[in-house]
Amino acid sequence: MEDAVAADGKSVLQGRYELGRVLGHGNFGRVHAARDLRTGRGVAVKVVAKDKLERAGMAEQIKREIAAMKMVSHPNIVELHEVMATRSKIYLALELVRGGELFSRIARAGRVREDVARRYFRQLVSAVHFCHGRGVYHRDLKLENLLLDEAGNLKVADFGLSALAGHARSDGLLHTACGTPSYVAPEVLGGKGYDGAKADLWSCGVILYVLLVGRLPFHEDNLMVMYRKMQRGEFLCPPWVSADARKLIGDLLDPNPSTRITVARLVETPWYQKPLPVLPPLNVKEPAPGGATPDARRASADDKEEPEVLNAFHLISLSEGFDLSPLFDHGRGVGRCSAGGVRFATREAASSVVSRLESLVTTGRGANMRVTRSGSRGVRLAVAAEIFSVAPSAVLLVDVKKDGGDTMEYQSFCSEELRPALKDVVWASGEDTPGAA
């Protein structure tokens, strides 16, 4: 089943997302601005054509991209909300970041002040270090893949070339040469294997240089000439770059990965430790698709107390055939939780189910609820729950998903708190259904 068309002529994806204007095109599809019909919030929907992926031999890579994004929930990383599929397309519902690429800002206005560069760089290092702690290596860090939100905060995007720790060979190293030549570490091109974390830090050094200087440290029309300069660490810093910044760039762009600076040492350097500026918000706000603001639409959804009646389209769209996530969790042993949520049928009243859920979190109300809590690791966790009435029976379908926060924290919440709390309200298929013939 492909996109449906609403009465007003707008395309609606599986009854969940109202697609708006196209934000950009890629090799395998396009990205739309969209509105989540359940919450009213703006999202970006990446539409990928399966046939193009298969012809290019990239089917495994899209699985790897989704697997990586599911493992890294961080304030400075674009969040993956949901994955869906039809016969011909894969849909990724992503956080909508409205401020555009950091690359565009540099291309338009040139280099930034050192204190502004420090703010962006610290957010980048925080995100990259979080990824590495989860065994995820980006491998394509560059200004074009760094976005800015309305508040001017940096968001790392595009995990299309990422690798997981489990993809390393028996020598513990990655061996696929990939990335953007001007940003890639010299050992990635050397053919002898490389440490994904150290290669990412080289790319961070290139980004810092561009922020402070306004051009790339290594850029030649002849790639072999450029590669030799990278191997020798041969670049120049203009006089306006401070001594502390110059020292840090040199430590990051060390062609020897074994002596290249680590994050633990980087965060202790004098330049990194200096105070950060407070930046004014970017003037990029725009109405959500459909006219109302996201907050107004979200309030409307939260105030809804009665469960929505589930129709045939909902049942189809909630089926396993439309949920790609199990394809990317083989061997993880976490079941439906890591696949995006917990779904069950119940004969309890909606108010009773909502009360059970509210007892586990700090806020939330209604048959369509979004609740937040602080996890055991001190990480914010958001859980979304929808309750549907399966007419004409008295059975309700409850769909609980992670709506934000840390994936591992959510898995722990599901297994240790959510499932035990709901155990006695789950309707088993062998039980009688009230009103059934």
Which CATH number belongs to the domain containing residue 268 in this structure?
Answer: 1.10.510.10
| Whether residue 123 is found in the same domain as residue 243 | yes
Q: Is 140 a catalytic residue?
A: yes
Q: What are the angstrom distances between the C-alpha of 167 and each of 84, 127, 134, 178?
A: 25, 21, 13, 14
Instruction: State the CATH number of the domain containing residue 33.
Output: 3.30.200.20
| Whether residue 327 is found in the same domain as residue 223 | no
278 lies in some domain: no
| Whether residue 111 is found in the same domain as residue 245 | yes
Question: Where among 273, 291, 325 does a domain terminate?
Answer: 273
| Whether residue 243 is found in the same domain as residue 136 | yes
> What is the reported pTM?
0.66
| Whether residue 65 is found in the same domain as residue 108 | no
* Residue numbers of the domain that contains 361: 303-425
256 lies in some domain: yes
Q: Looking at residue 379, what is its pLDDT?
A: 47
Give the count of beta carbons closer than 10 Å to the beta carbon of residue 190: 14
| Whether residue 250 is found in the same domain as residue 219 | yes
| Whether residue 310 is found in the same domain as residue 414 | yes
- Kindly name the residue from 36, 140, 323, 329 that is annotated as catalytic: 140
58 lies in some domain: yes
CB 407 within 8 Å of CB 71: yes
Question: Where among 30, 63, 95 does a domain terminate?
Answer: 95
Q: Looking at residue 209, what is its pLDDT?
A: 96
Q: How far apart are CA 100 and CA 92, in angstroms?
A: 19
Q: How far apart are CA 417 and CA 48, in angstroms?
A: 36
Q: Which two tokens stand for residue 286?
A: 């725009």
Q: Looking at residue 263, what is its pLDDT?
A: 95
| Whether residue 28 is found in the same domain as residue 134 | no
202 lies in some domain: yes
SS3 at position 288: coil
Tally the domains of the chain.
Answer: 3
Q: How far apart are CA 278 and CA 72, in angstroms?
A: 26
67 lies in some domain: yes
| Whether residue 76 is found in the same domain as residue 108 | no
436 lies in some domain: no
Q: Looking at residue 310, what is its pLDDT?
A: 53
pLDDT tens sequence for the chain (437 residues): 455 444 444 688 888 999 999 988 777 789 999 999 999 999 999 999 988 888 888 888 888 899 999 999 999 999 999 999 888 899 999 999 988 889 888 888 889 999 999 999 999 999 999 999 999 999 999 999 999 998 899 999 999 899 998 888 988 899 989 888 999 999 998 889 999 999 999 999 999 999 999 999 998 888 899 999 999 999 999 999 999 999 999 999 999 999 999 999 999 999 999 988 776 666 554 433 433 333 333 333 334 445 555 544 444 444 443 344 443 333 333 334 433 467 777 777 777 777 777 676 544 444 444 555 444 444 456 666 767 666 555 677 777 766 555 555 666 777 777 778 777 777 765 444 443 33
| Whether residue 36 is found in the same domain as residue 119 | no
Q: How far apart are CA 238 and CA 50, in angstroms?
A: 47
Instruction: State the CATH number of the domain containing residue 400.
Output: 3.30.310.80
Question: Where among 68, 95, 122 does a domain terminate?
Answer: 95
361 lies in some domain: yes
Partner residues linked to 31 by β-bridges: 24, 46
290 lies in some domain: no
The secondary structure element, H or E, covering residue 115 is helix 114-133
State the amino acid at position 82 in one-letter form. Answer: E
CB 391 within 8 Å of CB 435: no
| Whether residue 268 is found in the same domain as residue 326 | no
Q: Looking at residue 54, what is its pLDDT?
A: 87
| Whether residue 109 is found in the same domain as residue 173 | yes
